[in-house]
A and B are shown apart, each in its own frame.
Chain A
């Protein structure tokens, strides 16, 4: 990794000797996972626990006429069979809307369908038995009589008058519409020298977390308390929602999050089957375990993308881009997801198109429609891959129209690095970005000119390689503007409590969560650095609503920027408190003392004075020896939430180098480069690995991943053999560089990095494929870029 800084770094608490900040230290506690001794929810067992299996609708849209579970109830090991109507006594329905998404509507959704099913895979009954196998056996004997209804599957005709309305109470199938008109778009198009346009089509895909969604819910009737063990990214959100719909106080619900086998936004929502599991535990007064199998994952884990976006760009002969215009359409399934809603992705597309560029004229319309397919909602890099692919695809088309190199047109239009702070036509406020520094660095890393020469040379041998560039911006560190202002009880604030215990070790409780990103590591690195304590002495506790401060969790690239700042501020208070005690013990003053290597030292010459272990012994066991009136506070808590900017935007640029086999239509990815600016980097290795993992999820979207529905709303490839995810042999090595523009909103200066890779990878690949196909005059604006699509564009099939 290489770094460049956009401004001089001010020294702070984090730059002390032996600081862990900016160091690639290994994450703590990996042995547990590497030895197979982690504790995922799917591993959990509790006394008297029963397993729930859901009977799921085979139809996309049908009326439930009758459910006969008499045979199932007689099967061995079966404890109960529960229908939606029976469960509705315990759990209330919900409507996934937020007030800041004006006009967003949805219909009440039940934990288990009552009269009607609205997508293939919606649960119609729950079968509970002593083993999963027994529950599955019994589920097969539940007879459900359906009257099939016409399924609304094509988003393009969902709003036609001839199309049935899925929820008649809503009047039509339009869930949400947003229109934006900034600047003088018509005048800009009229005055342009060239206009390029295309329809960009994005496949519906899903996260495929390797561990499926899993819940163990345990109702203790004597305590009147529900404990939910769940692999969730947002424990306090789950606590709030579970309490709300089970008619409990939040204090009656504890959410515990152990190891989580992948999340990527899939596990940041409340699913109907999870809500049913909580309710069943309360109803049966015993622990209930639900683990989705893979076909259930494909049919019920949220899907994402599935947009059709028409775009236009206006450009002058000198390369100046003067306007963008988009018309975006997406189908979200039959309900807006709860509680984050299914309008966010389209809303983000409107926000983000054209984001890296200086053009001020922008018009957008986004429409979100209901359909009888699985629900869609926020998955890693929400809206970004669509906005980036549309924007960067249009920029390349504009460059081709005026005969300009794709790099040159970007140089002429990316927002200047000295133009900040500034705002986009859609109203996004940018504090400090580095598009040009990033692009320059990328071009040097990839040897752009050298690759162009190689490309030309290989073309003579009928080898068709392409280069694709994609600049992007990423929403990170979201404030209350994301959800809170719309009425969702999802904290945008995070808290950290840090204490020095009686043996001189540090215990740190944080409200951010860990799904492998490195939340535990970054917290320990920050706390260890500020306190002068080695990381091995810092124990981080996460993912338990009884044990941690109240907070948002880990999603939307917020853990490091928000949770990290809270850790920094809490550790600073504890450090001050420790030095106050040390000064009293040593008859010195706090200003003369420091902490280094787990020991109080003289700030002047580093001479060790007293070990933290000894200081802690005195505080906890011999406070009688301390001066009168001194009450040491060896625990400190701080919270942080961004207030100045709604979001801390980051930026970056990606490049793809690939080869298209024009006989088979296969694409071979040869190399991928990313330059990214996430502000202060706490652990370079973890940041790079977040980016690499994110890139590969974007590459999957670009080439392979698609949930294929037929016209009746049947998902035809709901298994891992037919739904393709990237395999090691198909993925390239990915080179990563950084530009560092810290946010001034926090002392830490960190912004998020979790979604940057996914934001721009598909756009870079699509542009590279079109670059490779240039001699054939073929342009493809659809992903995944399957061999069939490529051969069709080449008119070979």
Chain B
């Protein structure tokens, strides 16, 4: 544990200037310092995916990244994606399909699903399953999640000119 360092970053579009311990990981920083508790901590060793956030547009496991490494970046969490409306259709599809039970994996699952849908217009079920395989869900058995992502992809494709 050494002296705190100053960092400056964007979190959900807001400027954050603060000081962190060098060892604080991004997940703990978001949860404990910024009180953004929607980023969940499931395994703390980069396997379960529950802590997935976006850094500079790419999804990362915030338990494997130090807060100091986020200095100068733009970080987006589930709270930001929800408030901007970017994933409201995906969230609606999750609701309609009951693609969540306990909900602990859900913010990160939505992050990972949106990451796929941004890049691929019409992923098939196997592709969806593959892309979400870094995000564990112990409740649903995944099928409802795959259904919801597939339905969102179809609906978005239908809306494109």
Contacts and interface: CB of A to CB of B under 8 A. Distances in A.
Q: Does A pair with B?
A: yes
Contacts of A114: none
A729 B129 contact: yes
Interface string A248-260: 0000000000011
A697 interface: yes
A36 B43 contact: no
Interface string B132-159: 1111111111111110000000000000
Contacts of B43: 294, 719-720
A30 B50 CA distance: 17
A697 B137 CA distance: 10
A367 B127 CA distance: 47
Interface in A723-743: 725-731, 733-734
B55 interface: no
A293 B47 CA distance: 14
Contact of A294 (B42, B77, B130): B42
A35 B146 contact: no
Interface stretch (A100-108, A476-484, A489-497, A686-694): A686-694
Contacts of B77: 36
Report whether over half of chain B's contact residues are helix, strand or loop; otherwise say mixed. loop
A31 B140 CA distance: 17
Given A294-B42, A725-B136, A259 B98 contact: no
Given A33-B103, A35-B38, A43 B31 contact: yes
Given A259-B102, A689-B98, A693-B101, A210 B42 contact: yes
Contact of A719 (B45, B141, B145): B45
Contacts of A3: none
A33 to B, nearest CB: 3
Nearest to B37: A43
B75 interface: no
A593 to B, nearest CB: 35
Given A35-B38, A729-B129, A686 B98 contact: yes
A719 B42 CA distance: 11
Given A27-B98, A33-B100, A727-B133, A696 B142 contact: yes
Interface residues of B, number: 57
B45 A720 contact: yes
B136 to A, nearest CB: 6
A34 B94 CA distance: 8
B62 interface: no
B82 interface: yes
Contacts of B48: 210, 720
B100 A34 contact: yes
A648 interface: no
A208 B91 contact: no
A693 B139 contact: yes
A133 B24 CA distance: 9
Nearest to B125: A733
Nearest to A134: B1
Contacts of A694: 141
Contacts of B132: 728-729
A293 B133 CA distance: 22
Contacts of B129: 728-729, 731
Contacts of B105: 210
Nearest to A207: B138
A33 B126 CA distance: 26
Nearest to A683: B98
Interface in A250-284: 259-264
A697 B136 CA distance: 12
A37 interface: yes
B70 interface: no
B107 A42 contact: no
Nearest to B97: A685
Contact of A261 (B24, B39, B102, B142): B102
Contact of B141 (A211, A515, A686, A693): A693
A59 to B, nearest CB: 24
B36 interface: yes
A518 B140 CA distance: 12
Contacts of A797: none
Interface in A15-72: 24, 26-27, 30-40, 42-43
A26 B98 contact: yes
A713 B98 CA distance: 41
A731 B142 contact: yes
Interface string B90-115: 01001111101111111100100000
Give the contact-size bracket for chain A: 35 or more
A30 B102 contact: no
Contacts of A38: 38, 103
A209 B45 contact: no
A40 B139 contact: no
A414 interface: no
A728 B42 contact: no
A137 interface: yes
B14 interface: no
Given A729-B129, A731-B129, A36 B42 contact: no
A43 B97 CA distance: 27
B135 to A, nearest CB: 8
A516 B137 CA distance: 12
Contacts of A210: 40, 42, 48, 50, 102, 104-105, 136-138
B120 interface: no
A689 B101 contact: yes
- Among A26, A211, A694, find the residue whose CB has the most chain B CB atoms closer than 10 A: A211
A191 B82 CA distance: 69
B130 A695 contact: no
B2 to A, nearest CB: 13
Given A211-B42, A259-B103, A36 B136 contact: no
B95 A692 contact: no
A310 B135 CA distance: 38
B79 A37 contact: yes
B138 A262 contact: yes
A10 interface: no
B44 interface: yes
Contacts of A11: none
A50 to B, nearest CB: 14
A293 B48 CA distance: 13
B45 A294 contact: yes
A737 to B, nearest CB: 15
B133 to A, nearest CB: 4
B31 to A, nearest CB: 7
A262 B40 CA distance: 13
A293 to B, nearest CB: 6
B41 interface: yes
A721 interface: yes
Interface string A661-695: 00000000000000000000000011001001111
Contacts of B47: 719-721
Nearest to A521: B98
A517 interface: yes
A323 B65 CA distance: 60
Contacts of A31: 91, 95
Contact of A695 (B40, B45, B125, B141): B141
Contacts of A728: 128-130, 132-133, 135, 137, 142, 145-146
B11 interface: no
Contacts of A24: 98
Nearest to A34: B91
A697 B142 CA distance: 11
Most chain B CB neighbours (cut-off 10 Å) among A208, A689, A728: A728
Contacts of B101: 262, 515-518, 689, 693
Given A210-B105, A726-B141, 12 more contacts: A33-B102, A34-B78, A34-B95, A36-B77, A36-B78, A36-B107, A211-B102, A689-B98, A693-B138, A721-B47, A727-B134, A729-B133
Interface of B: 1, 21, 23-24, 31, 36-45, 47-48, 50, 77-79, 82, 91, 94-98, 100-107, 110, 125-126, 128-130, 132-146
5 contacts: A24-B98, A35-B79, A211-B40, A689-B101, A725-B138
The 5 nearest A-B residue pairs measured at CB: A36-B38, A33-B103, A516-B101, A261-B104, A696-B141
